[in-house]
Structure 1
Amino acid sequence: MTLFGAIEAGGTKFVCGIGSAGHGSRATAVIPTRTPDETFAAVAAFFAS
């Protein structure tokens, strides 16, 4: 099964998701926007888990 990742980046939050075409969303996370290092570390941690 092929999984896809997506990021919607805004000024106050990032919304991250993982899913597949056949089974829909498997996991999502809302990450508040902080410093670039903190925000991207949280995004990377979501996709690594």
Structure 2
Amino acid sequence: MIILGLILVVLGWLLGISILYTIGGILLLIGVVFLVLGSVGRPVGGRRYWW
């Protein structure tokens, strides 16, 4: 989710499409929150592990 957010932010910035930039920023933020919650051992979405 972080990688997809970064790709959308870069594409939105390069192409000048603000909706891509906004969606990418939201996905990036959610991905970072999930990364932090998962790294401290907190279950995310009812699952402790995602594999």
Q: Give the TM-score normalised by the residue count of structure 1.
A: 0.35
- Computing the radius of gyration over CA atoms, which structure comes out larger, 1 or 2? 2
| Greater helix fraction, Structure 1 or Structure 2 | 2
Give the TM-score, by structure 2 length.
0.34
Higher relative contact order (CA 8 A, sep 6+): 2
